[in-house]
Amino acid sequence: MPRTTATDPGEQKLLDDIQEFGWHCMTVFGDDEHEPFAYTVGLYSSYKHPELLVYGLPRETAHAVLSIAARAAADGNPLNLSEPTDELLEGYPCVFVQVPRDQYPEHVGCARWYYQGDDFPVQQIVWPSNAGHFPWQAEASPAFRAKQPVLGHQHGFKPSEWGFADPQNTATICCRHVFDGAAILLVTHDEDDGAWQLLCGGSHTGEDAVVACLGCMVKREPKLMELGDLPLGWCADRESVKKPWVREGNS
């Protein structure tokens, strides 16, 4: 539950901003070893929108970027965090990456104070270089990677390369055999909840189910990208990794 009382002027300013504007902008200045970054506090409590963090931008630019996203949330038209957007930085399509909770203590301390714990989501806004490269891409320079460290889990796929409607960090269900390295011979796209199941094609029990990252599995088996448009309720199988996928609608 968010805090309502402060013990110093800085904390009171944070609470006052959230009450008046719905959110507060926290700026963390850089030094010789760390790049500056800024993040929101209050978006989740005010609008059920993930808090946002952005690295490597000038203070005024970072505040402007966060303000655009906050205003959209306040207006009831939040940005789609699963897709690239050109609404934050003109000429630069930004993407969003979920920040793991183990990064919270080092990066969003004031938000942890406000929420009295880690029970809130954070998404990092990641912007491309002048050449259009994101930090996780091989073409990105070491200087650019250092300027904008990516806190979350990424896999190196450009937005134009990613063939799934689901984000790269979508959780999938795979069997223990696949998780341990067996070939993926059966893929299902469940109709009831949209979940992806990546299976070896053999018999399993509930104890064999393991959660795995979709992006990681596609990076391991690139031919999964051919199934990005598999309709809900359908499955695809193949005899071996050298054989083509055969699609079938589930009855």
Domain locations along the chain: 9-147, 171-249
Q: Which residues 6+ apart lie within 8 Å of 159 measured at CB?
A: 83, 84, 93, 95
Q: pLDDT tens for residues 67-88?
A: 999 999 999 999 988 788 999 9
Average pLDDT over the chain reads: 91
pLDDT above 90 coverage of the chain, percent? 61
Q: Which residues 6+ apart lie within 8 Å of 123 measured at CB?
A: 50, 51, 52, 53, 81, 96, 97, 98, 99
**In the numeric block, which tokens belong to residue 128?**
């491309």
pLDDT above 70 coverage of the chain, percent? 98
Q: pLDDT tens for residues 16-36?
A: 999 999 999 999 998 877 899
Q: Which residue has the higher pLDDT, 132 or 113?
A: 113
Q: pLDDT tens for residues 180-231?
A: 889 999 999 999 888 899 999 988 877 778 877 888 889 889 999 999 999 9
